[in-house]
């Protein structure tokens, strides 16, 4: 039977979309096929479903998502009664349920409806669907006592109507009251109660949303600027000096278009980072001269300047009634929402109570979710040397919002802050360090000179070397000031990993004792239904048999560390004893060495790729093998083969390639592709943080 989870409320304004998004994140981390059903909808396409569809790559036909329109439901209820309405919605729900393992049901929104008892309707639908219920109560602008009473009443109301209430969520409460409310509910409710504080960035509209709502015209600005949240509104009318003192971080400046002094002053303040603003909104359909706009564009490139025809009073009235919404066009808000949910909801507890079936398949989304979850469980600090790179800053915001790890960004602090302000990125909580001016530079120079004295490196020379962000970041890892490093989005692989070879070096002891003779790499290849590990596809051009055996053992360890049971295929152009030649003999010898060093591992080789992964081929070519047909770790004989294969599978099979993940170093350093996307960076940082959790990675050998 399909399991379903019904997220509902008791009134409008509860910010329930945060909970719906958080529950969807939980479900998709556990189950491959998750459907969505909204019994009643005001209009289509539905904003939240479009966000879910984009974020979770849902293939569900939008036509099946919606039960019926509110006006249609109101007429049906009036003419034929509630029973007929419920019966119709139940039929439409089951059309979805039959195709999915779990269905997330988005309850009615209590806004502009004509149903006399909407709570009872939601309760009845949940019961008819056989769904677990999560009521959400809004606590914005309410006292702690009021929120406590309302939440208890909500639980009592749904339980009295026969619902299987698995948890309650109180949302948008005052931060100062959160702990008191959580303690009060924990002692008075028989189910878990999660309390989420109000998050200004979620209710703040973006500049793009404001522009659309007011029919504004964008005079200056780019997409990043328009995506900024307007956290506050500052209305300009005073003298420049008074006006500048009134500016707040993330504010939208609202001023008549003929106040060129305030426009230029606000943008100059933004450029200096004192403080960064969301943008400028010009009223009265007045626009500065071309000369002023040219100066404005140079002062704060990308910062939006928008003109509207209304006056300041009418504009203010519209602005204060406006609220930000989660949607497919505000992906950064989704990260804020998920970060809020994950910080204050016990995900493991809620998932257990929901009892979502576990899938045998491992989808790319499940794998990515597990990475973030594991990194978050034991937070580490990762240093990012490319602190001024736009993709790195976007990834840093996601990592910080989701609580994945602590971050140190390297580079000139003023440049990083300005770049972040221009992109509307919140780096709160990140440490910023400039290697050029850091007080650590002298100590790092002495440390590096000592490590490289045998190469003739003096302290004076080392002083220049350690100012390089990759060397500085590597030394932070070596000295325990960071647990791992990720670089390479704008640096070459050599520039990223050479410092690690010189400073961190390989694990001592050799492969039999868990050490490594060389540094190698793997890619996690996320296919539609499983994750394979490919090695080495990035570092070693032509490893000999000893090195190939080392790569196989390292890759097996890495696979196991990330939840992939290692069944190792040593790949070649022949299977078993069918072929001969130097290349095949190398793989055969490497297989023997690996088996001798690690007799506990399941290893097969030489073996062809098709015999390694396809059971029917394996049954013919290598019957009875524990690995053939079900290999999870595939070791390529050389870099040429490995690199081309992973890219062919990535492009032709639509696989997501996560990596390269370096292995064999005493402490984790990982390289990015220079074409890395934001999500690639997020995944690689999470992997690095997880590698740093391994006790074997923590030892500091001198």
Return the HEC string of 50-111: HHHHHHCCCCCCHHHHEEEEHHHHHHHHHHHCHHHHHHHHHHHHHHHHCCCCEEEEECCCCC
C-alpha span between 605 and 591 (Å, rounded): 6
Q: Which residues contact 695 (CB under 8 A, 6 or more apart)?
A: none
Q: How confident is the model at residue 632 (pLDDT cuts 50, 70, 90)?
A: very high
Q: What is the pLDDT of residues 239-266, one digit of tens each?
A: 888 999 999 988 999 998 888 999 999 9
Q: What is the pLDDT of residue 633?
A: 96
- Whether residue 114 has pLDDT greater than 70: no
Quickly list DSSP for 266-291.
Answer: HHHHHHHTSS--SEEEEETT----HH
Residue given tokens 């990675």 in the structure block? 697
Task: Return d(Cα 422, Cα 302) in angstroms, integer.
Answer: 7
Q: How far apart are CA 643 and CA 653, in angstroms?
A: 15
User: Which distant-in-sequence residues (6+ apart) come within 8 Å of 417 by Cβ?
Assistant: 273, 276, 427, 432
What is residue 267's predicted lDDT score, i.e. its pLDDT? 92
Residue 311 is given by DSSP the state -
Peptide bond into 671 cis (omega under 30): no
- What's the length of the chain? 702
Q: Residue 482 has what pLDDT? A: 95
4 within 8 A of 23, measured Cβ to Cβ:
no
Confidence label for 533 from pLDDT (cuts 50, 70 and 90): very high
Judged against a pLDDT cut of 80, whether residue 700 lies above it is answered with: no
Q: What average pLDDT is seen over the chain? A: 88
Whole-number Å distance between alpha carbons of 364 and 530:
8
Contact 219, 307 (CB under 8 A): yes
What confidence category does residue 358 fall into, taking pLDDT thresholds of 50, 70 and 90? low
A 10 A CB-CB count for 120 gives 14
129-177 per-position pLDDT tens digit: 989 999 999 988 899 999 999 999 999 999 999 999 999 999 999 999 9
Question: In this structure, how many other beta carbons lie within 10 angstroms of the beta carbon of residue 626?
Answer: 11
Mean local confidence (pLDDT), 380-399 = 94
DSSP 371-439: HHHHHHHT--EEEES-TT-HHHHHHHHHHHHTT--EEEEES-HHHHHHHHHHHT---TT-EEE-TTT-T
Map out the domains of the chain with their CATH numbers: 3-200 (3.40.50.300), 205-320 (3.40.1390.20), 377-503 (3.40.50.10950), 511-664 (3.40.50.10750)
141 DSSP 8-state letter: T
d(CA 470, CA 474): 6
Helix (H, G, I), strand (E, B) or coil at 212: helix
pLDDT surpassing 60 at residue 339: yes
Global confidence as pTM: 0.82
Determine the average pLDDT of the residues in 342-370.
Answer: 81
On the question of pLDDT at 476 being above 80, the answer is: yes
Residue 189 DSSP symbol: -
CA 174 – CA 152 distance, rounded (Å): 18
At residue 701, the pLDDT reads 40
For 146, list phi and psi in degrees, rounded to 5. Answer: -65, -40
- Closest among 405, 391, 387 to 470, alpha carbons compared: 387
Give the pLDDT band (50/70/90) at residue 579.
low
Q: What is the per-residue pLDDT for 418?
A: 85
Comparing 76 with 357, the larger pLDDT belongs to 76
């Amino acid at each position: 039977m399909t399991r379903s989870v019904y997220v509902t409320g008791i009134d409008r304004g509860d910010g329930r979309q945060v909970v719906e998004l958080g529950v969807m994140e939980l479900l998709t981390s556990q189950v491959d096929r998750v459907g969505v059903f909204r019994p009643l909808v005001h209009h289509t396409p539905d904003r939240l479903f479009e966000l879910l569809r984009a974020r979770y790559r849902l293939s569900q036909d939008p036509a099946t998502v919606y039960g019926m329109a509110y006006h249609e439901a109101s007429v049906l209820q009036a003419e034929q009664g509630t029973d007929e309405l419920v019966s119709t919605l139940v039929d439409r729900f089951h059309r979805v349920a039959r195709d999915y393992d779990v269905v997330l049901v988005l309850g009615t929104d209590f806004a502009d409806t004509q149903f006399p008892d909407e709570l009872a309707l939601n309760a009845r639908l949940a019961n008819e669907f056989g769904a677990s219920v999560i009521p959400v109560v809004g606590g914005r602008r309410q006292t702690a006592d009021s929120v406590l009473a309302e939440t208890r009443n909500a639980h009592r109301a749904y339980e009295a109507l026969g619902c299987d209430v698995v948890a309650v969520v109180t949302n948008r409460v005052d931060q100062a009251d959160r702990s008191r409310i959580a303690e009060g509910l924990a002692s008075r409710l028989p189910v878990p109660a999660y309390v989420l504080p109000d998050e200004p960035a979620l209710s703040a509209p973006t500049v793009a949303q404001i522009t659309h709502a007011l029919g504004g015209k964008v005079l200056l600005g780019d997409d990043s600027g328009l995506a900024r949240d307007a956290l506050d509104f500052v209305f300009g009318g005073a003298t420049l000096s008074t006006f500048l003192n009134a500016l707040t971080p993330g504010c939208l400046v609202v001023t008549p278009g003929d106040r060129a002094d305030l426009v230029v002053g606000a943008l100059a303040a933004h450029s200096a980072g004192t403080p960064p603003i969301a943008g400028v909104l010009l009223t009265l359909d007045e626009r500065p001269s071309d000369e002023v706009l040219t100066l404005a564009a140079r002062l704060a490139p990308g910062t939006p300047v928008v003109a509207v025809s209304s006056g300041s009073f009418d504009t203010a009235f519209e602005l204060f009634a406006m609220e930000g919404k989660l949607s497919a066009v505000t992906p950064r808000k989704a990260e804020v929402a998920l970060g809020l949910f994950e910080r204050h909801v016990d995900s493991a507890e809620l998932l257990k109570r929901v009892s979502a079936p576990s899938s045998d398949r491992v989808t790319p989304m499940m794998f990515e979710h597990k990475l973030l979850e594991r990194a978050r469980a034991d937070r580490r600090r990762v240093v990012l040397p490319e602190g001024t790179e736009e993709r790195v800053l976007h990834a840093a915001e996601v990592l910080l919002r989701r609580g994945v790890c602590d971050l140190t960004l390297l580079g000139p602090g003023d440049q990083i802050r300005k770049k972040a302000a221009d992109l509307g990125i919140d780096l709160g909580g990140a440490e910023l360090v400039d290697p050029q001016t850091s007080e650590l530079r002298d100590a790092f120079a002495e440390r590096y000179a000592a490590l490289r004295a045998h190469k003739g490196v003096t302290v004076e020379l080392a002083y220049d070397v350690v100012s390089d962000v990759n060397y500085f970041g590597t030394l932070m890892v070596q000295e325990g000031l960071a647990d791992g490093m990720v670089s390479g989005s704008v640096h070459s692989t050599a520039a990223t990993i050479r410092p690690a070879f010189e400073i961190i070096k390989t694990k001592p002891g050799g492969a039999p004792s868990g050490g490594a003779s060389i540094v190698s790499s793997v890619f996690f290849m996320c296919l539609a239904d499983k994750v394979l590990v490919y090695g080495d596809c990035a570092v070693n051009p032509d490893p000999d048999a000893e090195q190939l055996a080392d790569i196989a053992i390292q890759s097996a360890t890495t696979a196991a560390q990330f939840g992939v049971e290692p069944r190792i295929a040593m790949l070649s152009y022949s299977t078993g004893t069918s072929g001969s030649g130097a290349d095949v003999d190398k793989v055969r010898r490497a297989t023997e060495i690996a088996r001798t060093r690690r007799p506990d591992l399941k290893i097969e080789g030489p073996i062809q790729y098709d015999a390694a992964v396809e059971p029917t081929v394996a049954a013919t070519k290598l019957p009875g093998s524990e690995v053939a047909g079900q290999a999870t770790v595939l070791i390529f004989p050389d870099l040429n083969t490995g690199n081309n294969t992973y890219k062919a599978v990535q492009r032709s099979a639509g696989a997501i390639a996560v990596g390269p993940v370096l292995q064999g170093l005493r402490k984790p350093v990982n390289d990015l592709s220079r074409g890395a996307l934001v999500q690639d960076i997020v995944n690689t940082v999470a992997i690095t943080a997880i590698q740093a959790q391994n006790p074997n990675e923590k030892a500091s050998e001198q």
